[in-house]
Each structure stands twice: as C-alpha cells, then as structure tokens.
C-alpha cells in the first residue's frame, strides 16, 4: 500500500512582462489547444489534489486575476522583477499556515505532465528526504540554460549560465526551473538567497546550494526536453502547440481512430474521439467536441462544442457549432452548418444548408439550400421538424415554426406557419409562362443597341 502523500500546494510564476509576445493579452493566457497555458498547469495541479495554488503575477496581473478568481486560486504580486527566488517569496503570505509540499512551476511552461509533477513529489518524500527536488532535462542545444552538476541523482552544484565556467557549460543536464520542496524548508532558504551574481538577481536555484551548505542534499529527476519547453514568443507558442498536437494525435490513434493525414488534424484540449473513427485531412476541432465510435469525418470540417453519435457521417466542408447534436447514422454534408441544432437518428442534411436553433426528427431529409430563419434581429427562435419529414431544396423555415412528422415542404417554399403531420406545404408564388416573351425581349434589346 502506497503511503499517503503530505498536503500539496503549487506556486505558478507568471510575473514576466512577455514583451517578445507583442500582445495585449498576458503571455500565460495565450492558448494551447484552445486552453490558456496557465489553465493547462492549474488543471494538472488540481488533478493531483493540491489544497492551494498561488499564481505570482506582475505586469498585467488584472488579467491573471480574472483567470484565477472563478477557479478560487490566489494571486500574489511581484511588483519588481528581482529574480525567481524573489518571485516565489511573494507567495509566502498566500501560503501562510501551509505545512505540506510545494511545487514551483512556470506559467509559460505548460506541457509538464501531472505524472512528472507526481514524480517530483514522490522523490521529495523518498526515504533519503532530499531538501529540494529539481526537474532537469537534456536539450539538443543547451543554449543559456542553467546547469546541474550531479552524481547519480544527487545534485553537486547548480549554476546559472552567466556564472558558469567553461567546464560547467559543457554539462548537458540543464535546469528547467521547476522544483519541489517542503514549505518548512522553502521559506527559510529563500530568505537567505542573495544577489551577488552577474545579473544582480535573486536566483531560485541558489536554495539548492544553501541547503548543501547546511549539509542537506538535493536531488534531480529528468524529463524530456519537449515537456519543459517554454513560451516567450509567438514562434515558441507555435512550437509548443505543435508538440501538444503531436502527442494528442498519437493518443487518438492509439485509442483506435484513423487519422489519414495526422499532421493536418487539429485537436482541442478536451476533444473526445471514439474507436473506429476515420478523420480525413484538414479537420479542426474546437473545444467541447465529442465524437462517438464509428463516425466518419470528411476533409475540411470544423467541429466545436458539438457531439456526433455513432456511425454518423460529417462533411466534407461541414461546420458544427456549439450546441450541435448529430444523431446516430445521421449525415451532415458539404457546406452545411449546424448551430444549437439536434439532428435525429438517420436524418440527412447533405448540401448547402444552415440549421440553427432547430430540432430535427429521425429520418428527416433536409434539401439543399434549406435555411432555418432563427433570428429576427432581437431574439432567437426554434424550428421543429418531425420524424420522416421532407424539406425541399431552397426552403426557408421562418421560426418559430413546426413541421409535422412525415410532412413535405415543397422546394422553394417560405414557411411561416406550422405544417401538420403528413401534409404538403407549398408556400411560393404560382408560376406564369408568357409564350414568345423572351424572343421579343431579345429583339427589342438588339434594336435599342443598333440605334
């Protein structure tokens, strides 16, 4: 039986100005797979059962507070950027009285997994009880990362790149910045950190060497470089998005779906895809999409906030907007848009159609060019179509209106009243033919041009 872990808290550093993003939106609120980077981290921390989470903000803190408030998360303020140790220290007040383990994370490093966070906490609580656990990685290019000198997994020295000797810079194990420590150790160590270094900043990694000076060892665990990729620019945001998408596609395929051209399919953070689903190239999922088993999604379709039941066929060039529900074996074809519309089992809308605020019965057929006129400039209204109804091409159904089960609406109709079950509705002007009119018209125009 696994021993119960101590209580857990998390500190997420998000005080950077993010100037390289060139954006009015706070850097950590830029989305990956449709969710703010900060949200990816706070979700994972919550999944580990953290009792408290504190976000340390600086410039743009109002935006961070707007994110944190609905989630009940605390925000601490770093008014001056004096280094990472100083930033962590700003969370002390929000964690007053907390006596458990503390994870230190970065708001612009969103891909670190809950499993890796758990490994850090497990290592902190291992029998040798290290003072600090540091998450290290080995990038292809060590660039200007701080280095970790270790024997086994015990840290001998940590040094910032600016302050490292040539020999230390040759070390490939780098510091991600992510750490775990017990609250009882963290605050006293932070209080002792100085700024006698090349940048004049209070460096968080110094707490490892301060613990060593007290005769207490610290440990390092390693993660893949992709997992600790940071975001400081739009290009890096795109790179991290690509990493997330690649992993998500791999999971979808491992769970039994076919992605014909995986690199062209874009998933959201919460996309659910069942078994034996086939997804053609250039399909995009926004947040809130659920795809059941056996669904086929043809190319260039966009699905967001919608559910698709077993065996349905979507696209190509279909758009399912929030509130769309596609029933079993239903068809939504090319250039068809659904918004807050339920398409019953086996129903078909195969061409050039808009169905908004609609309830469409099983087995119905919606002809090409059909529109539910659901908005009058002030309110939205519902169209109800019964089972087995047939709506002819280029019909406009002016809501609120109900088409009874088995009814037929003639092509080109503008329906403004309810149609009874099994009735035929013809709501269009009568046709009038004028023999010879076209020929006389052409002759008249030729004569006018000849003058």
Catalytic positions are 351
Alpha helices of 328-424 — where are they, by DSSP H? none
DSSP 8-state secondary structure symbol assigned to residue 430 = P
Cis peptide before 316 (omega within 30 of 0): yes
Alpha helices, H only, 134-199: 166-169, 183-191
List, in sequence order, every residue forming a beta bridge with 331; answer none if it has no partner: 313, 348
Q: Catalogue the long-range contacts made by 339-346 (C-beta closer than 8 Å, 24 or more residues apart).
A: 341/372, 344/387, 345/309
d(CA 252, CA 43): 20
Decide if 337 contacts 351 (C-beta within 8 A).
no
Angstrom distance (rounded) from CA 90 to CA 316 = 53
By the 8 A CB rule, do 358 and 342 touch?
Answer: yes
For the stretch 92-95, contacts whose Cβ atoms lie closer than 8 Å and that sit 24 or more positions apart, written own/partner, are: 92/187, 92/190, 94/52, 94/54, 95/9, 95/11, 95/52, 95/54, 95/183
CA-to-CA dists, residue 238 to 31, 226, 244, 245, 277, angstroms: 10, 13, 10, 10, 27
The first and second tokens of residue 63, run together, are 């935006």
């Amino acid at each position: 039986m696994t021993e119960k872990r101590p209580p857990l808290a998390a500190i997420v550093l998000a005080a950077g100005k993010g100037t390289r993003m060139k954006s009015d939106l706070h850097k950590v609120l830029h989305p990956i797979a449709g969710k703010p980077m900060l949200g990816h981290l706070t979700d994972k921390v919550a999944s580990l059962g953290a009792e408290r989470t504190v976000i340390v903000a600086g410039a743009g803190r109002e935006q961070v507070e707007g994110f944190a408030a609905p989630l009940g998360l605390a925000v601490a303020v770093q008014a001056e950027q004096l280094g990472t140790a100083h930033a962590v220290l700003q969370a002390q007040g929000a964690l007053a009285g907390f006596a458990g383990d503390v994870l230190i994370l970065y708001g612009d490093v969103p891909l670190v997994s809950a499993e890796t966070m758990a490994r850090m906490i497990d290592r902190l609580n291992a029998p040798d009880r290290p003072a600090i656990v540091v998450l290290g990685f080995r990038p292809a290019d060590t660039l200007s990362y701080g280095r970790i000198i270790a024997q086994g997994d015990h840290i001998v020295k940590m040094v910032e790149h600016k302050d490292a000797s040539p020999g230390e810079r040759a070390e490939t194990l780098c510091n991600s910045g992510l750490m775990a420590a017990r609250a009882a150790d963290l605050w006293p160590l932070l209080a002792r950190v100085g700024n006698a270094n090349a940048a004049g900043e209070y460096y968080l990694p110094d707490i490892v060497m301060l613990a060593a000076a007290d005769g207490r060892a610290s440990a390092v665990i390693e993660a893949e470089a992709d997992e600790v990729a940071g975001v400081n620019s739009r290009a890096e945001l795109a790179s991290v998005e690509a990493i997330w998408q690649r992993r998500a596609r791999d999971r979808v395929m491992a769970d039994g779906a076919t992605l014909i051209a995986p690199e062209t399919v874009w998933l959201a953070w919460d996309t659910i895809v069942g078994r034996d689903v086939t997804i053609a190239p250039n399909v995009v999922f926004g947040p809130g999409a659920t795809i059941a088993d056996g669904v086929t999604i043809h190319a260039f379709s966009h699905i967001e906030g919608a559910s698709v039941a077993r065996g349905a066929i979507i696209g190509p060039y279909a758009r399912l907007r929030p509130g769309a529900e596609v029933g079993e074996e239903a068809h939504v074809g090319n250039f068809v848009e659904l918004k807050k519309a339920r398409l019953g089992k086996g129903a078909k809308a195969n061409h050039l159609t808009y169905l908004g605020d609609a309830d469409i019965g099983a087995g119905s057929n919606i002809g090409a060019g059909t529109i539910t006129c659901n908005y009058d400039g002030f309110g939205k209204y519902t169209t109800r179509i019964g089972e087995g109804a047939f709506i002819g091409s280029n019909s406009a159904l002016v809501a609120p209106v109900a088409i009874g089960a088995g009814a037929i609406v003639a092509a080109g109709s503008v329906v403004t009243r309810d149609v009874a079950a099994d009735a035929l509705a013809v709501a269009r002007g009568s046709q009038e033919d004028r023999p010879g009119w076209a020929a006389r018209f052409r002759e008249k125009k030729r004569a006018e041009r000849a003058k």
